[in-house]
Structures are given as structure tokens and as C-alpha cells.
Structure 1
Amino acid sequence: MIGKTNKQKGFTLLFASLVGSLLLALGIATFNIVLRELDLSSSARESRKAFYAADSGWECAFFHDRKRPAVFATSTNSLGIPTPTFIQCRNGDISVASTRAAFSAVSTFRMPLDDDACADVKITKDDNDNKDKISKTFIESRGKNDCTTNPNPNRVERAIRVKY
């Protein structure tokens, strides 16, 4: 038996390293999937904040437009543009700025929400080509998950547009 070599001597080591490499590759792939799922979950949470901000903004504007129609400027309002008007949403006073053109008027406000979220709301009253003098109202509410001035790569904006 001197002179004979065992050809299967390194097979166990080769098999163990192959199985170890396969398990390591599976672990890395699983870790990658987990990281992507966490990013997706975080993105969904931030998107939800932005959408809820937009929803709160248009509901506030719609409520005040129905409750106190003179609070937002119209092109047919003989009183002119309302001077800085205040509306109350979320237990706080919010200043409304207005501008007026020949056949339309635009009112805007920013409504702050929790966790640095906010909604920028624009109310447009349009009387263009309207023989009945009934204005069309457009509310555009843009909700943001982060309204700070700091750069944020995860900043999300969602918009809701309502016409009536």
C-alpha cells in the first residue's frame, strides 16, 4: 500500500467549501431582500404621511368654502380680495393669501401637521365663460411628509385635486 495514493482525500474539503459558499450566497440574497423590503416599507409610510396631509388640506379648504364662502377670493366678489384672512384647521389659525385676475381668483395657504408634514393648498374660483355667474371651484392640495428646509432624499409629495 505504499505507493498508492488516495484520490478522494480532498473531496470532503471541496464539498464543505461548496456548501459553505452556497449558504453564504443564500444568506446574502436573503439580506438583500430584507433591505429592499425595509426601504419599501419606509417609503410606504412616508407616502401615507404625505397623502394624509393632502387629504387634510383639501378637507379643510372644502369645509371653509362651504361654511364661509367669502373666506376665499372670487373674481365676482365686489368686496375685492379678502385681506389676510384666517381659517381654523387642526386647532390653529392659518393665514390665507389671495390674488385675483379678470375671471378667476386664487387663494393659498399652508397647513402644518404633525411630524413636520404639511399641506400646501390652492383654491381657484374660475368664472371664465360662465354665463350663470356660478363659479367653478378647484382645490389642489399637495401634501408633503417633510416641510422642513433641510435636504431630505426621502421627501415625498402627494396631491389631491377636487373640482366642483
Structure 2
Amino acid sequence: MTGKTNKQKGFTLLFASLVGSLLLALGIATFNIILRELNLSSSARESRAAFYAADSGWECAFYHDRKRPVVFATSTNSGSIPDTTTIQCRNGNIGVASTRAAFSAVSTFRMPLDGDACADVVITKDDNDNKDKISATVIESRGKNDCSTNQNPNRVERAIRVKY
């Protein structure tokens, strides 16, 4: 009888270690999934900040292009626009640099936002198709979640392009 009892005790130990290993593997797998979900949610948060920056940048440019059309250079008003003008967005003054070519003009500015986020905005006015004396305007806003000079592997950039 003593031999039978020893065999049953060994089985219990084997069964307990098997169940323990299974629970440990399940716990590690769950922890791994949680870590990936946290990383994904962090990426989504950074992407949202970059998209918000891009959206704010193009809205600022569009507003000033509609309310103050002489603030951004075109090839037809090249004599009246200085190389640098100032606009106001988010309660701050922002310098706008302009360059001109024969049939187009490009104005650029960087709009800082909360934290390290910013938007680099390029406004291009093209008069190549000058049949009706109206220039085509393209606003390209590139929002970044981190505009600091430090190397950041989690830097995210989102862009919006509007043509009218």
C-alpha cells in the first residue's frame, strides 16, 4: 500500500507543476498583450497631437488667406509683399517668409503649439493657368508631435493638403 501512495503523490506534484506552468504562460501572454496595447495607445495619442497640429496650421493659413489676402505672396503682387510678414495665430505672432518665381509664390511659417508640437505650413499660389486671372492656392500643413531638436524615435508627423 505504501507504494501506491507514493505514486499518487508524484502524480499530484506533476499535475500541480503542469497547472502552475500553464497559469504562468497565460499570465506572461496576457502581460505581453497589455504591453502592446499600451504602446499602441501611446502611438495613437502622439498621432492625434500631430494631426491636431496639422489641422491648426492649415486653418490658420486658410483664415489669413481669406481675411487678409495680401499677407501671402503671389506672383501677381510681388511688389507689394515684403519677404517677411507677420500673422497672428493662437495668440502669438508668427513670421511668414515668402519667395517668388515667374508664375508662382511660396510662403512658409512654423506655428508652435502646446508642448513640443508644431506645424510647418507651406502656402503655394500658382498662376500658371492664368486664363481667368485667379491663382490656384495649395496649403500643405505638416503637424509634428515633437518639434524639439532632440532625436526622438517616437516622433510622429501628419499632413493635410488643401487646394482651392
Same fold (TM over 0.5): yes
Q: Deviations over 1:44-96 (max 9, x none)?
A: 00000000000000000000000111100001115254231000000110000
Distance 2:78 2:71 in 1: 13
Number of equivalenced pairs: 162
Alignment RMSD (CA, Å): 1.2
Amino acid at match of 1:18: L
Using the TM superposition, name which of 149-158 and 70-79 deviates more. 70-79
Match of 1:52 in 2: 52
Q: Percent identity?
A: 87
Unaligned segments of structure 2, at least 5 residues: none
The TM-score, its normalising length taken from structure 1, stands at 0.95
Provide Cα deviations, 1:97-140, integer angstroms capped at 9, x if missing partner. Answer: 00111111000000000011000000000011221110000000
- 8 Å contact from structure 2 (residues 139, 162) kept in 1: yes
Name stretches of at least 5 consecutive residues in structure 1 with no aligned partner. none
Contact residue 138 and residue 161 of structure 2 kept, 8 A: yes
Aligned to 1:5: 3
Matched residue, 2:146 = 146
Structure 1 match to 2:72: 72
Partner of 1:96: 96
Q: 1:78–1:8: structure 2 CA closer, same or farther, 3 Å change rule?
A: closer
Whole-Å separation in 2 of the counterparts to 1:16 and 1:80: 85
Q: Distance between the aligned counterparts of 1:139 and 1:85, measured in 2?
A: 17
Whether the aligned pair in 1 keeps the contact of 2:117 and 2:146 (CA below 8 Å) is yes
Contact 1:72 1:82 in 2 (8 A): no
TM value normalised by structure 2: 0.95
Contact residue 54 and residue 144 of structure 2 kept, 8 A:
yes
Return the alpha-carbon distance in structure 1 between the equivalents of residues 163 and 91 of structure 2. Answer: 26
Report if the CA contact (8 A) 1:81-1:100 is conserved: no
| Counterpart Cα distance in 1 of 2:62 and 2:130 | 21
- Spell out structure 1 runs of 4+ moving beyond 4 A: none
